[in-house]
């Protein structure tokens, strides 16, 4: 059992107990799966993005998730309003910089969001590399970098921004630039075939940081929950379609034993 396991189990239980309201300003592709992942984990999702109401809604939410997957000026305005309200109220918020290395509009938008002190930045290796090194890269929403390429950059980014940085892929990595980083293996190699699973994980990070004050532990717990559910689901899945629904079922019935078995490796 790893030293982080008791904290992960506590975060998992806290999400079920508190059922935090999570405001997701997330892309069209991901809305359905992200809401279902939050429901399965015991949280309460709300996809609210228009600038006419986004900031007002953020005042009600336990956490805000800003995801730039299908961004446009109005969506960016909604994100900025919401995360400003969250930050000013000391509420956690999560940045998912989808495909940030692809276009200058994405990079500029992420720069504006980074000024508002994200509690957690969760992305794949290419996305984190782009933010840390200010270079273009990635293959659209997919990564063409490895964790080895980005580990030290992720540590430095966390130190510089004060954010928890989570890099996901075949191996997940969580760093705050100070504590000993966490590396998690597991899941199923077919998980990247489920579109918007990374976005849904960022939403789950939102639920965990809403329910638990230590954002490093909360982020680790979210990653562990999805990996555990994915790995258990993968044992009987026949392809990405059945993996998707089985993963939701396994997330909904995940217990401390299943989690401990996963995190402890």
Binding-site members are: 47, 122, 168, 196
For residue 153, the minimal CB distance to ligand TZP (Å) is 19
Q: Are 106 and 123 in contact (CB under 8 A)?
A: no
Using CB under 6 A, which of 189, 235, 238, 239 touches ligand ADP?
189
Q: Are 100 and 134 in contact (CB under 8 A)?
A: no
149 binds, among ligand ADP, Mg ion, ligand TZP, none (CB under 5 to 8 A by kind): none
Q: Are 253 and 206 in contact (CB under 8 A)?
A: no
Q: Are 262 and 231 in contact (CB under 8 A)?
A: yes
* Interface segment toward ligand TZP; rule CB under 6 A; list 38-46, 190-198, 207-215, 223-231: 190-198
Q: Using DSSP, state whether 261 is helix, strand or coil.
A: helix
Q: Are 14 and 212 in contact (CB under 8 A)?
A: yes
Using CB under 6 A, which of 82, 175, 219, 227 touches ligand ADP?
227
**How far is C-alpha 45 from the chain's CA centre?**
14
Q: Do strands 171-175 and 182-185 pair parallel, antiparallel, or not at all (unpaired)?
A: antiparallel
Using CB under 5 A, which of 21, 43, 64, 98 touches Mg ion?
98
Nearest-CA neighbor of 94 among 150, 20, 156? 20
Tokens, residue 119: 């509690």
Q: Are 147 and 173 in contact (CB under 8 A)?
A: yes
Using CB under 6 A, which of 174, 221, 226, 243 touches ligand ADP?
226
Sign of dihedral through CA atoms 95, 98, 104, 105?
negative
Binding-site members for ATP are: 122, 168
* Interface segment toward ligand ADP; rule CB under 6 A; list 17-25, 86-94, 113-121, 195-203: 195-203
Kindly give the residue spans of alpha helices, DSSP state H, lying in 30-146. 31-41, 54-58, 73-88, 104-114, 125-133
> Could you give the string, one character per residue 86-125, with x where binding to ligand TZP holds by CB under 6 A and - elsewhere?
------------x---------------------------
- Considering only residues 103 to 122 of the shown chain, the ones binding ligand ADP according to CB under 6 A are none
Using CB under 5 A, which of 169, 198, 206, 230 touches Mg ion?
198
Rounded to a whole number, what is the distance in angstroms from the first to the last CA of the chain? 7
For residue 81, the minimal CB distance to ligand ADP (Å) is 24
Answer yes or no whether residue 206 interacts with ligand ADP by CB under 6 A.
no
Residues that bind Mg ion (CB under 5 A): 98, 198
Residues that bind ligand ADP (CB under 6 A): 124, 143, 168-170, 172, 187-189, 191-192, 197-198, 201, 226-227
Residues that bind ligand TZP (CB under 6 A): 27, 29-30, 69-70, 98, 141, 195-199
């Amino acid at each position: 059992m790893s030293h982080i396991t008791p904290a992960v189990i506590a975060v998992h239980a806290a999400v079920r107990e508190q059922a935090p309201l999570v405001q997701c300003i997330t892309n069209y592709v991901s809305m359905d799966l992200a809401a279902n992942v939050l429901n399965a984990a015991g949280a309460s999702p709300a996809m609210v993005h228009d600038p006419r109401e986004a900031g007002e809604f953020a005042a009600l939410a336990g956490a805000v998730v800003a995801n730039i997957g299908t961004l446009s000026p109005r969506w960016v305005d909604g994100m900025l309003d919401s995360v400003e309200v969250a930050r000013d109220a000391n509420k956690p918020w999560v940045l998912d910089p989808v495909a940030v290395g692809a276009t200058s509009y994405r990079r500029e938008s992420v720069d504006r969001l980074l000024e508002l002190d994200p509690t957690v930045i969760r992305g794949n290796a290419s996305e984190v590399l782009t933010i840390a090194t200010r270079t273009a890269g990635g293959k659209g929403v997919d990564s063409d970098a490895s964790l080895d390429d980005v580990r030290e950059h992720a540590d430095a980014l966390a130190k510089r921004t004060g954010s928890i940085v989570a890099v996901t892929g075949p191996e997940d990595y969580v760093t705050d630039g100070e504590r000993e980083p966490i590396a998690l293996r597991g899941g199923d190699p077919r998980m990247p075939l489920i579109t918007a699973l990374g976005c849904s994980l960022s939403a789950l990070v939102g639920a965990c940081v809403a329910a638990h004050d230590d954002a490093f532990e909360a982020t680790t717990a979210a990653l562990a929950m999805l990996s555990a559910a994915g790995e258990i689901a993968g044992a009987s899945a026949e392809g990405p379609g059945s993996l998707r629904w089985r993963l939701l079922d396994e997330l909904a019935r995940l217990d401390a034993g299943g989690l401990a078995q996963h995190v402890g490796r």
